Structure 1
Amino acid sequence: MNLTQYVDQLRQELAVAAEAGGDEARALAERLTAPLESATRLTLLNALSAAAEEITSDLAPGSVDLRLRGLDPEFVVTPPPAADTFDAQAEYAALMSARPTPPPPPAPDAADDGSTARINLRLPAHLKARVEEAANRDGLSVNAWLVRAVSASLDQPGGRAPARRETRREGSGFTGWVR
């Protein structure tokens, strides 16, 4: 989605409004439009992000993610799984594909009310690149792929975080993770 047209439209509207104030108002409007461009883009991105979040809450278990590529946002839609529908073309494509189809997402817990929660996750750049590659390979958004990976990890036997244990030996300490 190209935000430039909306920012330009706002700039034009400000110029039209300044025309009524005379030359001083027009000059002031011209001086203000450049610094306001980044604030306008940020405000539009915040509005789009809020809209994507609202749509996601109505679309659950599907999702709508907002990604920023350069200066332009783009929407990534992950539709909810179809309920008992048969698509012959998709079935044929899946059978003929050399790439195996990804496993279905795990069933939600009985206590899951369908709501979502937002967290910030900071990954090293090399790990982020690997996550993006895996998500693309499975045909999922990064968010959907991470949700599936976390669910699969927690649903495995012993799928809890490893216990941290400290061991002391005469005069020297050892610290680490033990499974």
Structure 2
Amino acid sequence: MSRLLLTAAGAALAAGPALAATGPFFSLGNTNFVVLIAFLVFVAILLYFKVPATLTGMLDKRAETIRSDLDEARALREEAQTVLAEFERKQKDVAEQAELIVEQAKRDAEAAAEQAKADLAASIERRIQAAEDQIASAEANAVAEVKNKAVNVAIAAAADVIAKNMSDQDASQMIDESIKTVDAKLH
């Protein structure tokens, strides 16, 4: 700092307007000399109160703060990149899982459709079989009913024919034969 004072004093002495002033230079009447003295006193006060050291300390402190902020920003950036990479990896995993789920759902839907077709075919086959069984049963019932009617008609016709052609003696002989047949079968 003392170099600075010497340089400032030398510059003040070598200055053109200072030489142009009238009268002796080292006089309180010379404004240039008064300004030089004031400047030197001002610089001396700054040095006495250690203003340059304080300013340097403040600048160093500010530089350290900026350095720590930069380090923190760098760390945050690295952390953000790590989080971004992890997020992208998770997003890729989720996309793959979603694709697998969709494929599985398609396979399940196809299997369900095939099963539904098979179930429908089996149901239709059962209904056709049930309808055929009902038709066969109705046909058998109709045939049995027709046979019963035919037997009843034949019995009625035979009874009429027998009643017209049979005598009392033939009737009592038939009754006796029927009693013997029933007696033989019961015992």
The structure whose residues are more often strand, as a share, is 1
More helix by share: 2
Higher Cα Rg, which structure = 2
Compute the TM-score of the two structures, normalised by the length of structure 1.
Answer: 0.22
**What TM-score, normalized by structure 2, do the two folds share?**
0.21
Q: Higher relative CO (CA 8 A, sep ≥ 6), structure 1 or 2? A: 1
